[in-house]
Amino acid sequence: MPEVNGRWVADMKAPRTPDNEEPAAERAHDFRPVDKGFTEEMAVAEAARCMRCKKPLCVQGCPVNINIPAFIEKIYEHKFGEGLDIIHEQSMLPAICGRVCPQETQCEGKCIRGVKSQPVAIGQLERFLGDQPELASKPKLAPKNGKKVAVIGSGPSGITCAGELARNGFDVTVFEAFFTGGGVLVYGIPEFRLPKTVVKREIDGLKDLGVKFQFNSVMGNLANAEELLGEKGFDAIYVATGAGLPKLLNIPGENLPNVFFANEYLTRVNLMKANKFPQYDTPTKHGKHVVVFGGGNVAMDSVRTALRLGAEEVTLCYRRTEAEMPARRAEVLHAKAEGVKIHELVSPLEFIAGEDGAVRAVKVQDMELGEPDASGRRRPVPIEGAIEEIPCDVAISAIGTNANPFAKKIGGMELNKWGYIVADEETGRTSNPKIWAGGDIVTGAATVILAMGAGKKAAADMTKVLLGEDGE
Amino acid sequence: MYKILEKTQFSEKVFKFRIEAPELAKHAHAGQFLMVRANECGERVPFTFADWNAEEGWIEFIFMVIGKTTMMLSTYEAGDSLEDVTGPLGRPTDMSGDGTWCVIGGGVGLAIAYPVARQLVATGHEVHAIMGARTKDLLLLEEQFRELLPEDHIHITTDDGSYGEKGVVTAPLERLLEAKAVDQVFCVGPVPMMKFSTLTAQKFGTPITASLNPIMVDGTGMCGCCRVEVGGETKFACVDGPDFDATKVDWNDLRARQAAYRTEEGQALKAYEEANCACQR
């Protein structure tokens, strides 16, 4: 009983409520959502495990400092709408973040209950509320202030910034290069991890706040910063174009047919629905033996997509060991449960063509772990002469991305030598007093929640500056 | 939605659409392209700008029926709308090269060559055009080229000899190069045409640029589907090109990548013809 003599006592005996998942053997062959989320009963039981710490470390672990114990308390009291309002004070995308944040290194990683037992399932509880958006209070909108802001890019950073600005009374237009909004949430993260209906709901919510979307708008080639701030009459710009340019492996055979960058492989399926070809027009390759290089979330999404496209054998090749993989832990476990083989300590050397000209195998170099590098992780070092060949008919490279090339074409602000925008991480201010920037185009590829945090901070700063309350 | 203002049929399989797209028209340059998605179930297909008018707010592109999407597009009429038109994409053609230019267009490539020739003329260059087609029926934009250039600067070849000179574009190119009549070459068309034009220009040490046409998905540098090998380096045609120094292009690599989805392209066309696909129009 959590209440004893009117005082809160957490249920210390209860184990962490297990995730509500589809069985691995069934789910691995279609695109249904793997995790069904907590039922009301599960959520309330899990909420009882929270100790309601006076100085909650979980809040510090959250990049946008959501008042976690407060919303969990509301769940325990069945006041779900109030709980959602508490989250909305810091984050407008709980249904997304609850699903895709790497909680084990953020909020849950700091949860005190994790020391002796399992941390509270904060992500699942956040998602439980996020999936009931109809319960939230209507957001209070500031009166229209007559200022126009252009947001470039509709990924997590852009949509967060747009939402905050709209609430603050700005006239906001989001320019998006694709035909639909969401950025990596729609082209990158697969349906089985983040249903597109969830993303659409968040975008539609922004439209209800008065945010305008202009799709098919490749800014930089279409209007640039000068034109937006000039004849188009915008008072400010938030640039959130992301970092979507694939990194090359720079090894022989990289351009062979059926060797993909993960972005292409995932875009074909997630955005263009190539899994439904020929009902949908975009085709993709259904490999029997698929090899994926990388250890992040994009690599996990690629291996699991390959399985769902009918691969018989999927091998994830990573140059370090599973312990060093930057992917969300839950996705590594999901991938393994679904039958993905993990081949640790290998690095690709060369893709080899078959008689048809397409890839038939990849030569890899065996590695061992040496001294720690700048990231604190032990550096993989080649073992001389230890080279093996892995047969494959589809190979996917998921080793990371570089700055989106359109930031330069948008112009008007300083970039660093790698093409990322130079911006203050606390305010998003760039070298141009009318341009702010945030998300992956400033930090390099990071997480959804960090991109959101940047959008939120920039919106707050833009509001101060544009409404003349800067005090300068 | 992007409205089709005008549809023109050039031959049995070649069509031109004029599309209402004021923002694109305002920002388009010769050599750039657009991505089209015909309907909700559609794929994204790149087409190069054939013409545009910023004042009237339209752009034009020309396409030949070769597969499901282009066959379906050919059934669209003026007044219908395309779901998505994105652009302008890619870098504009670099026309800073001095002297006399030779612009070579093969087949539908003529639609890309024309705005390049037009802009070269507008910026004061002397221009020769070599217009190649398999047959007379497939020769595009002859009237427009004739309006633009003097009679003796137009060189027409057809594979079957049904019009102009019988043969391929390299014959008139070789003559022009031998006579030292041109200083810069721009070519666009099928891979063999571009490859052999390049070998011919190289023989005379004349600089040659080619506009490449690999498969694309997003057209904004995100996926790398359009990658090509140029001078031993991997380049993304959609953001680094589509124009490249033709003497450095790995043509075999380009051809192999272009052919990667032959089987699936056949399946899509078959499904369309048997009306098994979800979106017809």
- CATH, residue B17: 2.40.30.10
| Residue B276's pLDDT band (cuts 50, 70, 90) | low
Q: What is the mean pLDDT of residues A328-339?
A: 94
- Spell out the residues 6+ positions from residue A22 whose beta carbon is closer than 8 angstroms to its own: A32, A33, A34, A35, A36
Examine the domain organization and report whether A387 and A413 are in the same domain: no
> Which chain A residues are Cβ-neighbours of B225 within 8 angstroms?
264
Q: Is residue A119 within 8 Å of residue A113, measured between CB atoms? A: yes
Examine the domain organization and report whether A299 and A392 are in the same domain: yes
Q: Is B137 touching A (CB cutoff 8 A)?
A: no
Q: What is the mean pLDDT of residues B185-198?
A: 96
Choosing from A373, A401, A429, the residue where a domain stops is A401
- CATH, residue A354: 3.50.50.60
Examine the domain organization and report whether B75 and B142 are in the same domain: no
Examine the domain organization and report whether A168 and A238 are in the same domain: yes
Residue B280 has pLDDT above 80, yes or no: no
- Number of structural domains (chain B) is 2
Distance separating alpha carbons of residues A113 and A68, to the nearest angstrom: 14
Choosing from B42, B65, B89, the residue where a domain stops is B89
Instruction: Dump pLDDT digits (tens) for A451-469.
Output: 999 999 999 999 999 998 6
Residue B277 lies in a domain: no
Q: Is residue B176 within 8 Å of residue B152, measured between CB atoms? A: no
Contacts with A, B 34-53, CB within 8 Å: 37, 41-44
Q: Is residue A199 within 8 Å of residue A312, measured between CB atoms? A: no
Residue A141 lies in a domain: no
Residue A140 lies in a domain: no
Examine the domain organization and report whether A323 and A377 are in the same domain: yes
- CATH, residue A74: 1.10.1060.10
Residue B278 has pLDDT above 90, yes or no: no
How buried is B79 (Cβ within 10 angstroms: 0-12 exposed, 13-18 middle, 19+ buried)? exposed
Residue B15 lies in a domain: yes
Q: Is the peptide bond before A23 cis (omega within 30 degrees of 0)?
A: no
Examine the domain organization and report whether B58 and B193 are in the same domain: no
Examine the domain organization and report whether A125 and A196 are in the same domain: no
Instruction: Dump pLDDT digits (tens) for A237-285.
Output: 999 999 999 999 999 999 999 999 999 999 999 999 999 999 999 999 9
Residue B133 lies in a domain: yes
Examine the domain organization and report whether B138 and B168 are in the same domain: yes
Q: What is the mean pLDDT of residues A82-95?
A: 92
pTM of the model: 0.94
Mean pLDDT of chain A: 94
Determine the distance in angstroms separating the CA of A219 from the nearest CA of chain B, rounded to an integer.
Answer: 9
What would the DSSP string read from start to end of B197-224?
A: HHHHHHHTT--EEEE-----SSSSSSS-
Instruction: Dump pLDDT digits (tens) for B230-247.
Output: 999 999 999 999 999 999
Its domain, for residue A187, covers: 148-244+403-466
Q: What number of C-beta contacts closer than 8 Å exist between A and B?
A: 123
Q: What is the mean pLDDT of residues A326-354?
A: 95
| 3-class DSSP string for A341-388 | EEECCEEEEEEEECCCCCEEEEEEEEEEEEEECCCCCEEEEEEEEEEE
Examine the domain organization and report whether B65 and B130 are in the same domain: no
Examine the domain organization and report whether A172 and A218 are in the same domain: yes
Residue A257 lies in a domain: yes
Examine the domain organization and report whether A382 and A300 are in the same domain: yes
Examine the domain organization and report whether B122 and B54 are in the same domain: no
- Spell out the residues 6+ positions from residue A248 whose beta carbon is closer than 8 angstroms to its own: A254, B234
pLDDT: is B84 or A5 the higher one?
B84
Packing angle, helices A196-208 and A156-167, rounded to 10: 30
Determine the distance in angstroms separating the CA of A229 from the nearest CA of chain B, rounded to an integer.
Answer: 16
Q: Is residue A202 within 8 Å of residue A95, measured between CB atoms? A: yes
Examine the domain organization and report whether B78 and B113 are in the same domain: no
Length of chain B: 281
Residue A470 has pLDDT above 70, yes or no: no
Distance separating alpha carbons of residues A240 and A446, to the nearest angstrom: 13
Examine the domain organization and report whether B20 and B79 are in the same domain: yes
Residue B167 lies in a domain: yes
Nearest residue of chain A to residue B68 (CA atoms): A281
Residue B197 has pLDDT above 90, yes or no: yes
- Phi and psi at residue B61, to the nearest 5°: -140, 155
- A281/B265 touch (CB, cutoff 8 Å), yes or no: no
Residue A131 has pLDDT above 80, yes or no: yes
Examine the domain organization and report whether A374 and A253 are in the same domain: yes
Distance separating alpha carbons of residues B148 and B110, to the nearest angstrom: 14
Residue A153 has pLDDT above 70, yes or no: yes
Distance separating alpha carbons of residues B91 and B244, to the nearest angstrom: 10
- Phi and psi at residue A48, to the nearest 5°: -70, -15
Residue B277 has pLDDT above 70, yes or no: no
Structure tokens at B37: 């998605």
- Distance from CA of residue B101 to its chain's centroid? 18
Which of B23, B265, B278 comes nearest A279 by C-beta?
Answer: B278
Examine the domain organization and report whether B73 and B107 are in the same domain: no
- CATH, residue B164: 3.40.50.80
Choosing from A401, A432, A448, the residue where a domain stops is A401
Residue A471 has pLDDT above 60, yes or no: no
Q: Which residues of B are annotated as a binding site?
A: 223, 226, 238
| Residue A312's pLDDT band (cuts 50, 70, 90) | very high
How buried is B200 (Cβ within 10 angstroms: 0-12 exposed, 13-18 middle, 19+ buried)? buried
| Residue A377's pLDDT band (cuts 50, 70, 90) | confident
- Number of structural domains (chain A) is 3
Choosing from A384, A401, A418, the residue where a domain stops is A401
- Spell out the residues 6+ positions from residue A471 whose beta carbon is closer than 8 angstroms to its own: none
Distance separating alpha carbons of residues A93 and A37, to the nearest angstrom: 16
Choosing from B43, B65, B89, the residue where a domain stops is B89
- B268/A277 touch (CB, cutoff 8 Å), yes or no: yes
Instruction: Dump pLDDT digits (tens) for A403-426.
Output: 988 999 999 999 999 999 999 999
A396 membership: H or E segment, kind and range: strand A394-397
Examine the domain organization and report whether B84 and B120 are in the same domain: no
Sheet containing B33-37, strands listed edge to edge, beginning at the edge strand earlier in sequence: B81-82, B2-9, B14-20, B58-64, B44-53, B33-37, B84-89
Its domain, for residue B44, covers: 2-89
Q: What is the mean pLDDT of residues B73-93?
A: 95
Residue B18 lies in a domain: yes
Determine the distance in angstroms separating the CA of A358 from the nearest CA of chain B, rounded to an integer.
Answer: 8
Determine the distance in angstroms separating the CA of A302 from the nearest CA of chain B, rounded to an integer.
Answer: 14
Q: Which residues of B are annotated as a binding site for [2Fe-2S] cluster?
A: 223, 226, 238
Nearest residue of chain B to residue A264 (CA atoms): B223
Q: Is the peptide bond before A119 cis (omega within 30 degrees of 0)?
A: no
Determine the distance in angstroms separating the CA of A7 from the nearest CA of chain B, rounded to an integer.
Answer: 55
Examine the domain organization and report whether B54 and B175 are in the same domain: no
Examine the domain organization and report whether A369 and A341 are in the same domain: yes
Q: Is B245 touching A (CB cutoff 8 A)?
A: no
- B42/A279 touch (CB, cutoff 8 Å), yes or no: no
Examine the domain organization and report whether B191 and B252 are in the same domain: yes
Which of B86, B256, B276 comes nearest A177 by C-beta?
Answer: B86
pLDDT score, position A268: 97
Measured CB to CB, residues of chain A less than 8 Å from chain B are 177-179, 187, 215-218, 221-223, 244-246, 248, 250, 254-258, 261, 263-264, 267-268, 272-273, 276-283, 357-358, 404-406
* Residues linked to residue B34 through DSSP beta bridges, in sequence order: B47
Examine the domain organization and report whether A18 and A126 are in the same domain: yes
Examine the domain organization and report whether B53 and B126 are in the same domain: no
Q: Is B86 touching A (CB cutoff 8 A)?
A: yes
Residue A472 has pLDDT above 70, yes or no: no
Q: What is the mean pLDDT of residues B162-174?
A: 94
Nearest residue to B19 via CA among A73, A468, B28, A170: B28
Residue A233 lies in a domain: yes
Residue A457 lies in a domain: yes
- Distance from CA of residue A112 to its chain's centroid? 26
Distance separating alpha carbons of residues B33 and B49, to the nearest angstrom: 5
Q: What is the mean pLDDT of residues A151-156?
A: 97
Contacts with A, B 195-234, CB within 8 Å: 217-218, 220-225, 227-229, 234
Residue A129 lies in a domain: yes
